[in-house]
Structure 1
Amino acid sequence: MCSATPNRNTHHTGQTPIRVGLVDNDDCVLQWLRMALRSHGINVVWAEKNSGNAIQRTLFGMDIPQVVVTDIVLDLISGVRLCEEIRRHNSTIGIIGITSYTTKHYEKALARAGAQGLLDKNHTIIADLIKAIPLAAHGLPIDQNGPFLDAQTAHRFVSPSSAGTIGKLSAAETAILRLYDRHYSTQEVADLLDMNPRTVSTHISRAMRKLGAKDRYEALRICSRYQLLN
């Protein structure tokens, strides 16, 4: 983790390089990440060891990043908590977690906190970040098949103003989504619940509106990530 190869390619949104903030306990890691990302045309606007300072600089600083890359194990609060604090107040900044530990251990918690992805701090971390940062800069999950939501959808779930309004599914909507989650067809769901298929579709449309989902498959992903069907 001590060398960075210069690269002429510039990663940007529009005409300017993507602004990134880095958070890590280790000074050496911070310096290495900063040098490596800058050599690939990414504008690292700041690098912080202190998680409290990182939150302030992300939300209220002069150089607000488009993407925050944070280690999971920090000093004052965890990377999961840092992510939640940022997402609670902001719906656009992309957040990517990085960890030397098993990613599966933190994946669900980080997804619920509103991040767009989690990467392993292994020998491919720079290459992985170079691919992930442009997606996160647009608020998109870095892996469409993973447990992470886009920034705007995640903000609706994490934001205090959304408490009590998001995910309040009716008993019928919950029952229908549970059956869809078990791969039943609409007709099979209707038969099992003694409903007309049109009624099933009406309930699903209402559930989708409540969850902000574009289709029932996204509704099921949201329910899974936020444990709404448990």
Structure 2
Amino acid sequence: MIRVVIADDQQLIRAGFSALLASEADIDVVGEAATGSEAVDLVARLRPDVVLMDIRMPDGDGIWATGQIVADPLNAATHIVIVTTFEIDEYVVDAIRAGASGFLVKDTEPVELIRAVRVVARGDALLSPGVTKRLLERVSGGLSAVLDTRALSVLTDREREVLTLVGHGLTNEEIATKLFLSPFTAKTHVSRIMQKLGARDRVQLVVTAYETHLVRTGWNAG
């Protein structure tokens, strides 16, 4: 069962999301918060699998709350999806930097919202390859002021190759095809890379690929 907390200052939005998700047999809405600080406290108490986090809330906005939640090691299994009315690049970038696993706008189709919860619950990123590449290329110069490749020293050559493809936004299946691996082997490589680098999810792997210049602006995986 996927346990979800909904954080939004609009009661109607919370009620709508809750009713939609509660209709799914594998999803359980365990709590709701109307402010950023409430969301942080609720997550600390309930340790949900997924948080649907609004950005513009009183008493700590969604970006701040995301950072607070991610900073607590006890919340390592909690994944955050930013849900907002405003589809602006800066919000997505700030959310990624804060530790969010995905980003959705509030007019997303119901089926996509449900899919989003399931995707991030299993540790995958909720950013399409195109969006990921566009956003991270846009801010790649500011992700890390100093190039530090020490993190890569724990990876094998094959794992670096896989991390590069993750950085380009490829799925496990696409990585498997490109490297002539089975999908299971590709998934295993990604899981080991996450473990070695202490990454919460695939988004953090993408950021690492850019920070260490495994992927650079203008490059492609072709």
State the TM-score bracket (shorter-chain normalisation): 0.5 to 0.7
Name the larger-Rg structure.
1
- 1:104 corresponds to: 89
Output the CA distance in 2 between the equivalents of 1:209 and 1:140. 24
Query: In the alignment, is residue 214 of structure 1 matched against residue 150 of structure 2?
Result: no
Deviation of 1:227 (Å): 9.2
1:16-38 per-position Cα deviation (integer Å, ceiling 9, x unaligned): x2100000010111111111110
* SS of structure 1 residue aligned to 2:159: coil
Note the aligned Cα RMSD (angstroms).
3.2
What is the DSSP-based 3-state SS (H/G/I as helix, E as strand, rest coil) of the residue aligned with 2:81?
strand
Matched, 1:46 2:34: no
DSSP-derived class of the 1:215 partner:
helix
* Aligned ranges 1:143-158 → 2 under 5 Å: 143=127, 145=129, 146-147=131-132
Paired position in structure 1 for 2:66: 83
**Alignment-derived partner of residue 194 in structure 1:** none
Name the structure with the higher helix share.
Answer: 2
CA distance in 2, matches of 1:219, 1:123: 25
Aligned-residue offset at 1:136: 1.1
Question: Taking structure 1 as the reference length, what is the TM-score of the superposition?
Answer: 0.60
Alpha-carbon distance, 1:105 to partner: 3.4
1:53 is displaced (CA, Å) by 1.7
Q: Which amino acid in the other structure matches residue 95 of structure 2?
A: L
Identity %: 23
Alignment CA distance shift 1:227-1:85 (3 Å): farther
Partner of 1:142, secondary structure, is coil
Q: Residues 207 and 226 (structure 1 numbering): CA distance in 2 closer, same or farther, change over 3 Å?
A: closer
Q: Which runs of 5 or more structure 2 residues have no equivalent in the other structure?
A: 134-143, 169-205, 218-222
Q: Which residue of 2 aligns with 1:67?
A: 50
Equivalent of 1:24 in 4, 8, 11: 8
| Structure 1 segments unaligned to the other structure (5+ residues) | 1-16, 149-165, 174-205
Find the aligned partners of 2:211 and 2:112 in 1 and give their Cα distance: 26
TM-score by length of 2: 0.61
The answer (yes or no) to whether the contact 1:168–1:210 under 8 Å persists in 2 is no
> For residue 198 of structure 2, what is the aligned residue in structure 1?
none
Aligned residue identity for 1:106: Y
| CA 96–34 in structure 1, closer or farther in 2 if over 3 Å, else same | same
Give the whole-Å Cα distance in 2 for the aligned partners of 1:73 and 1:43: 24
1:57 to 20, 26, 42: 42
